Every structure is written in C-alpha cells, then in structure tokens.
Structure 1
C-alpha cells in the first residue's frame, strides 16, 4: 500500500554544496534522491537550506549557493523536478495527486525551498525579501542557538525575538513568507504566536510528552498550532522519537507520537517532516524516501486510511493551497 507523499524537511542541498560531485539522481551519500522520490511516491519534497557551523560565519552567499544547486542539479535531474512557489502550483499538484491516486498517470516530483535558520541573511531584511523573490517560501527562524532574529531552542537564556527579529515577522506577514518554529525557543514560539498574522508550522518536530527532547513540542505548543490551523511535521530523527534514541528505533515507535498529537486534536494538522540527510542514524526501516510505502502500510493497520492520506499529503497540501501567494497578485503592477 502507498499514498502520495509530501515531506516538509530534508537537508540534501547543504550536502550538495559541500560535495559538487554528488548525484541527486542516485547519489550513494544521499538519503533523498530522485530515484527514491519516485520509488516512495514523493510528490513534493521541501528542500531546506541549512548552514552548518563548520562553514564558518554564516553568509548570504551560502544560501544563494544552495538555491543554485537546486536549480542546476536537482531540477534538471531525470525527467525534471518542478519548483513549487505559488498557490496555483499547489493546486496543480493537488490535481496531480488525484490522478496519481487513481492510477491514471505517472507523476513527476516537485520541490519547495525553505531556509533553516535566518543566520545567513546576516541581519539584512533586504536579503530576506530578495530570497522570497527568488522563490523561497518558508523560513525556519533559528537553528538551535541564538542569531540576529531570535533565540534557538538550545539557547540557555530562552529569549524571544530581537527588535530586528520583530521586523522580520512583519516582513514575513507582508510578503507571504511562511514561518517555521522547529528549532525556535519556547519564549520565541509564544511571542511569534502573538505577533504573526499567519499560521506557522513546525516542519520537523515530535511530541515532547512522548519523547522529552527539547526540539519536540509540548502539549500547549501543539494545541496552539492546531488552534491557528498550522501544521506539525512528524520527524524521523531517532532521538526525537524515543528518549536517548539508543538501539534500533522502529517505525512502530512513531505511532505514540501520532496518537498523542491526534488526541490533542491534530488529525487535520499532522504531516511529514523526515529530516532525511540531516541525520547520521536512522529509524530501522525508514532510512530513505523509498521506504514510505512500507510505512504507509504500517500506519494503515492502525489508523483509518483517510487519516493516513491526510498525514502523508492532504494536510500539507491544504496548508499550501491556503497560504502560498497567488502568482497574479505577485505579478500585479
């Protein structure tokens, strides 16, 4: 059994920036490849642009390098990966998902761009606006630590947004750039909930009540995302699934996170955010996107197929069609 998949987080592009010899089609060092996207029926993959600390002081050119890798090395792979930027693109994707489900057509995958941590914008809001104009649609405000905009979840002082970070929220609301609170401090989370005019997502976080990792969401945060009609991406990082993450973590262990989020009202708000290529150990049986059909079969033994369908693609798709900007409005004037 399989379902069309939308996955809201992977770190392929930073790997490709570090190694220009990597093949997106079937590179052995990549979790997410073109061939595995087709194998796992991944209709849309969100490619995060992450700037590792090993690269030194974060710079805007590091983001531009990854946009270039997406355009020149991902989009041109195989029969082509399409770039999803607009509400109209998401609506077309929805039609494609419908025909793929009926078995009437073979799909070609789409890609969506996000930035993981505002550090690389160097505190320059013009760079943020330019990145949006270039086609980036989601911004994870921090990685784990503090940057010019806000504190990350591992920053001990647990601060919120800086004055320039508050202007970033205003800019995001103005342009339609969507915000991602995975990695954001808890203080920052609640400050953003008060200040934003748009719902936000946690692209790759699980339930803290099930696994007490600081990167997971507590029940109040989960309820807040549900109340604003945001989305939560179930992630496959072993140490976000089970405390300690030691030994073989099995796909069945994700069921507790799903059950908990749904018990809080999240059936229509749960999606997938694997973090493939951002990890160096994997859930046994969920090592890459080609494993999604087996995961779908597992979930279908425990949950209604209508819910599994929503978690695999429906909830993410409805968020995109509701909140991405319209192409005509962007081009007006």
Structure 2
C-alpha cells in the first residue's frame, strides 16, 4: 500500500439535521454520526459541505428551522479547533495552510425559504453558498425528481434563479426533476453542480443522471459529486466500494474526468456502501483508486476538480472602505 495520503473534498453530508434534532451530539467523535471531526481528519477530508435539510414530507418547514441548522454549524462545527468556514473565492488559496480542514454550507431544497427572496439573501449573508432547489418532490420553486408530473420552474422559481445569478449563490441540481434540469441549463448564466448523484446508465435509480445530463454538465464545466448511497451505486443495493468505479469510468467515457468529485450523503443514509461507511474510509478508497487509475486523475476526483470549481465560481469577498 502506498503511503500517499490524499486530500479529499466531499460535497454532501446531512450532519446538521441530526445536530438540530439532538443538540447533545458531540461533532468531534460522536458514534451517532457518520461524519465527525475525528473521521474527517483520519480520511484526509480537507473540505466538507454540510447540507441544511428540511423535508416537507416529514416536518413543518420554515425559515426558522434553516436558521437553526446554520446555528448548529456555527456552534458545533465551525468552532475554534474545529473547521474553518469557507465562504469566499479568495479563501480557497488559504486552504493548504489550515490542516484541520474547512466546512461550507449548502441548502438542500428551498422549501424553508417560503418563497421569500429576502430569506435567500439572508442565507447568503449568513454564509450559505450552494442552493439545491428541491428535495424529491414539488415545492414553491420547482418539481423534484420524484414528482410524477416532471415540471420545470414556477415564476417564483425563475425569479430565484435570477437572484442566484446576481448574488453569486451557486446552484445544485441533485433532486431536481429532469424538466427543471434542462430549464436551468437554459436560464442559468454560470455552471451548476449535482452534489450527490450517480450515472443512471450504471444504476437506474431516478436520482441518478442520464448521459445527456452528464454531457451537459461537462459542456458547462459543472461538477458531478458521485455519491455513496448504496441503491444509487448498484441496482438493488448491496454495493461495495469497487462498484463506485463503474460510475467513474462511465462519466469519464462521456468526457467528464475533470467534472468528477464526490458527495457521500453520509448521515443521510441508513445503509452504507461496503468499504465507504464514513469519511475515515476515504484513505482506503484513495488506495483503491490508485490501484486502477493514474495519480493525477485520482487527485482531481478526490479534491482538485472540486477546488478548481470553487476557486472559479465562488463569489469574491467584498472590499470595505
């Protein structure tokens, strides 16, 4: 085994909803979490994206609950001795000097914004930098991927797209219905990402992306965060780490080697890919990748492609007189 610890960027986990539900959880090492500070360090994870997730199917959604998860991140994750909070393009150049790692905030589904763009602006000012437009079903902005009618954006949703393009909020199409994906591809002025989705040609789950969608992401220089949800990796579940390689190879066959990154969905799942049960396993996964692919490609998939996207597309820190 090669002793080459590689940096990792993971674009999706659901720790914050667990912290909101159980404030006594210790982020540093609590066994109730997949993602802990201890495991991030063990796996070489330099950057972890933390999703703010509210499910209209399970609970009453509100902007107050979004604020609660932002506070959980501030109070329990982005703390002295914890993770540094990444918000601005200029900070991407500082990452190499901060060995304990970085965290970012994303919003998974805009339901809790209640159709209010002022709330969206507050999220941006409070440090949220990615916005997933839906979860699996319809909300005030657009249809999710499991909504039977497969609709695009509402008028309010189109105004949200325009606001995101003006403000610098980046967009995430994981969970968005195909009609919405293609409408966003026409309307958005900047590349977007799919933070935690796989290739539908390899595993036919509706949350995975078609070849046409992957090619569109490649053409705009967006990103696809291959995910470790077992039933997105292999039809019927029961996936092993080696099964993720089939998705890597397929995206590469579509010209997407420079678009691949990872979005584990840790803490959003109750079954795991064998060998990828938590972020501490990333070191072993890197060795598996190195056994099959050139080191330059592996470094890109684990970290480089994600960092390049952020360095190019994050908003610049405002200058104050």
**TM interval, short-chain normalised:** over 0.9
Residue 256 of structure 2 corresponds to which residue in structure 1? 266
Residue 202 of structure 1 corresponds to which residue in structure 2? 194
Q: Is the 8 A contact 1:5 1:313 kept in 2?
A: yes
Unaligned runs of 5+ in 2: none
Q: Is the 8 A contact 1:181 1:189 kept in 2?
A: yes
In structure 1, which of residues 144, 153, 157 is the aligned counterpart of residue 136 of structure 2?
144
In structure 1, which of residues 109, 112, 116 is the aligned counterpart of residue 108 of structure 2?
116
Verify: 1:187 aligned to 2:179, yes or no. yes
Residue 311 of structure 2 corresponds to which residue in structure 1? 321
- 1:96-147 deviations in whole A, cap 9, x for unaligned? 4xxxxxxxxx811100000000001011011001110111000000000000
- 1:178-200 deviations in whole A, cap 9, x for unaligned? 00000000000000000000100
- 1:216-261 deviations in whole A, cap 9, x for unaligned? 000000000000000000100000001121xx32100011100000
| Alpha-carbon separation, structure 1, partners of 2:144 and 2:58 | 19
In structure 2, which of residues 283, 292, 297 is the aligned counterpart of residue 302 of structure 1?
292
> In the TM superposition, what are the counterparts of 1:1-333 in structure 2 within 5 Å?
1-53=4-56, 56-76=59-79, 79-93=81-95, 95-96=96-97, 107-245=99-237, 248-327=238-317, 330-332=318-320
Which secondary structure state, in structure 1, belongs to the residue aligned with residue 206 of structure 2? Answer: coil
| Alpha-carbon separation, structure 2, partners of 1:153 and 1:325 | 28
Q: Is the 8 A contact 1:2 1:294 kept in 2?
A: no
RMSD: 1.2
1:301 shift after superposition? 0.7
Unaligned runs of 5+ in 1: 97-105
Q: Is the 8 A contact 1:2 1:292 kept in 2?
A: no
Q: What TM-score do you get using the length of structure 2 for normalisation? A: 0.97
1:306 shift after superposition? 0.5
